[in-house]
Chain A
């Protein structure tokens, strides 16, 4: 159970952390604030989940124990969310893929047999509905924009495509949770996810990268096998707590 909650929390935290890296670097002020808002929504969802994990585990754990005191192999987020921000198109493509997933996932998680997870899902769903609207909107604007923006967003979609399969590929932890009715069956979300993505790409006059059925994809994050990017991300995120353990503002 705790490993499952941490997987969900890590997804939200690492995604939120990546988006927070845009703070102060957004292409324009308004988008800078939008990305920061979305980052905070995700970090907020992660906090709720880490708090829940801490109450289950006990042992003096707090919500901060998990983000700051674990090593890279103990993080169980999908590889997609640790992908670097790249340019704005790369960030939007990653957001589109993950927001669409989160939207379907939280919708389904509302029916979890675990009341706490169901209520976190309900709260997060409102936020994610807006995140998805934002990433869809920008995908369409770039795809249906200039030659340059179209080429960039298509490139980003193609590049990140191989990281999308992992979201629907249940790990052993997830399989157990699906059996007990705590977790939704993520594989069943895949056709709906593909529909959201293909509708968006069509409206954006972009092409759907490859046939997804049976396509090869990157995976490992769910079992703690991360890309080289993850170590750098954690180094920055955990630096303060590792140098000055227990430091508070």
Chain B
């Protein structure tokens, strides 16, 4: 990180009580408090949310796209892992 750049923060917003926080974007700020206040101005000005989380981007660890073949592709042909794969008895109406 260069000295003139403020650290990058990832912003998560919860739009309603009961829902989960969703990633909405990122911004630059010197500390967590500033990140939250700036997120308020950048990401909630059209009533998008009622709660803000800020996580410094360096604390986010991501899977490597190169691993996609071994990580995710094998699930392609395993339809039996979905509940919809199974035939249900007619008597079960609320599934």
CB-based contact B41/A28 at 8 Å: no
Q: Which of A29-37, A48-56, A159-167 contacts B (4 or more CB under 8 A)?
A: A29-37
CB-based contact B38/A30 at 8 Å: yes
Picked from A28, A33, A133, A137, the residue with its CB within 8 Å of the CB of B45 is A33
CA distance A130 to B44 in the complex (A): 13
Any chain A CB within 8 A of the CB of B14? no
Any chain A CB within 8 A of the CB of B37? yes
Any chain B CB within 8 A of the CB of A208? no
Any chain A CB within 8 A of the CB of B29? yes
Return A223 CB to nearest CB of chain B, in Å.
Answer: 36
CA distance A29 to B41 in the complex (A): 10
CB-based contact A30/B27 at 8 Å: yes
CB-based contact B37/A37 at 8 Å: no
CA distance A30 to B45 in the complex (A): 12
CA distance A33 to B45 in the complex (A): 9
CA distance A6 to B27 in the complex (A): 39
CB-based contact B28/A37 at 8 Å: no
* Chain A: interface residue total (CB-CB under 8 A): 12
Any chain B CB within 8 A of the CB of A68? no
Interface string of A120-153 (1 = CB under 8 A from B): 0000000000100110010001000000000000
Q: Which residue of B lies closest to A134 (CB)?
A: B37
CA distance A29 to B28 in the complex (A): 9
Given A33-B42, A33-B45, A37-B45: A28 touches B37 (CB 8 Å cut-off): no
Chain A residues with CB under 8 Å of B34's CB are 137, 141
CB-based contact A28/B28 at 8 Å: yes
Those of B15-71 within 8 Å (CB) of chain A: 27-30, 33-34, 37-38, 40-42, 45
Considering the complex of A and B, which 9 residue pairs feature the smallest CB-CB distances, nearest first?
Answer: A30-B38, A34-B41, A33-B41, A33-B42, A30-B27, A37-B41, A30-B42, A37-B45, A30-B41
Interface residues of A (CB under 8 A from B): 28-31, 33-34, 37, 130, 133-134, 137, 141
Give me 15 A-to-B residue pairs in the complex whose CB atoms sit less than 8 angstroms apart, sorted by A's number.
A28-B6, A28-B28, A29-B27, A29-B42, A30-B27, A30-B41, A33-B41, A34-B37, A34-B38, A37-B41, A130-B40, A137-B33, A137-B37, A141-B30, A141-B34
